[in-house]
Structure 1
Amino acid sequence: MKYIASVDGRDLEIDVDRAGEVTLDGQTLVADLRAIGGSQTYSLLLENRSYELFVERRPGGYEVMIAGDRFSVDVEDARLKQLKAMGGETHDAAGGAVLTAPMPGLVVKLLVGAGDTVEENQGVLILEAMKMENEIRSPCVGLVRSVSIVPGQTVNQGDVMVVIEGIAEPTADADPGA
């Protein structure tokens, strides 16, 4: 399965097969990753070198510690990323957005409701598609104007799920007394 991993802002293309072979940006590697005792600690065997990883889940991704170095990692299915690029969200002129289903799926969980304020890249809902849970995020700072879906609802590609009204951020030269 192909993934796009953003590691501290750098995108890497990763392809994982069932035999444990990993292709990382075109370079084939042999890897084995195993959880240690059901905790957040993992053992990674990569090209016959052993690493211990501590992985902490955060909204939208993971914080990974390897040998004392910390990395911020976001992972996305390559097909989902491509579908999002083809029309999973539409921005309006005021900086808001209309979030539409990037593919058919099942709404698993709503993370916000109408009237909530959201930050850019904040999780808005969880959509299950192709047996994977995908977090749909806000592309902008804004106010959730409407939520057109409920948990358990099936959506089709292009269905409007959430409307976010953009909030203009104050500029440094704005006069608060005006």
Structure 2
Amino acid sequence: MRYYVTIRGATYAVDVEGGRVVADGTPLEAHLAAVPGTPLQHLLLAGDSWTVAAQPLEGAVPFRLALGVVGERFEVEVVDERTRQIQALTGAPRGSAGGGTIRAPMPGLVVRVEVEAGQRVDAGAGLVVVEAMKMENELRAHRAGVVAAVHVAVGQAVDKGAPLVTVESPEPSG
């Protein structure tokens, strides 16, 4: 499976198949194992050994985490090929607090609506599932918020770019 990993503004294509890793065309020997009784991982990469602490960043879409390696902290963003394609089609900003109107990435049929107007959603929450080219594509919230409007119903055909769900910022609690 192909992933795109962004660290300090540089993005790398990383292919992972079983224990084989190819980063930007370079094959690497890589092994990752949990350190029992700790939140740490032991990483053996290209003959070098590292102890890594990884912590997912809450509410981040796409998947982001903070890595601690040799006393340094890095924020890392990881997206798979499918997510990257959907971001390109929908114009969803990478790693953004996005929000706004979620639009159909391609023509398809709405097979599931997972939210209703007024519902609070977390970043990454499923909103609508659109079937296109015999594949189901779940469209997710770019950030936490409140569903302002659901523009489609189950069974409805949609064109590329059609509005599906609008998510607004939650009202500040005061």
TM over 0.5: yes
Kept after mapping to 2: 8 A contact 1:101/1:161 = yes
Q: Which amino acid aligns with 2:4?
A: I
2:23 aligned residue: 24
Q: What pairs up with 1:116-131 in 2 under 5 angstroms?
A: 123-126=123-126
Match of 2:148 among 142, 145, 148: 145
Q: Deviations over 1:76-132 (max 9, x none)?
A: 102221122123659xxxx9732136589998x87xx7386x9xxx825247999xx
CA distance in structure 2 between the partners assigned to 1:35 and 1:156 by the alignment = 46
Kept after mapping to 1: 8 A contact 2:65/2:75 = yes
CA distance in structure 2 between the partners assigned to 1:15 and 1:82 by the alignment = 16
CA distance in structure 2 between the partners assigned to 1:32 and 1:155 by the alignment = 46
Q: What pairs up with 1:1-178 in 2 under 5 angstroms?
A: 1-18=1-18, 20-37=19-36, 39-58=38-57, 59-60=59-60, 61-87=64-90, 97-100=100-103, 102=105, 114=118, 123-126=123-126, 136-138=141-143, 144-147=147-150, 160-164=163-167
Structure 1: 5+ residue stretches without partners: 167-178
Structure 2: 5+ residue stretches without partners: 170-174
1:173 aligned residue: none
RMSD of aligned Cα (Å): 4.5
CA distance 1:135–1:146, change in 2 (3 Å): closer
CA distance in structure 1 between the partners assigned to 2:73 and 2:157 by the alignment = 38
CA distance in structure 2 between the partners assigned to 1:76 and 1:64 by the alignment = 16
TM, length-normalised to structure 1: 0.61
Report the number of matched residues.
152
TM, length-normalised to structure 2: 0.62
Q: Which amino acid aligns with 1:125?
A: A
CA distance in structure 1 between the partners assigned to 2:142 and 2:84 by the alignment = 12
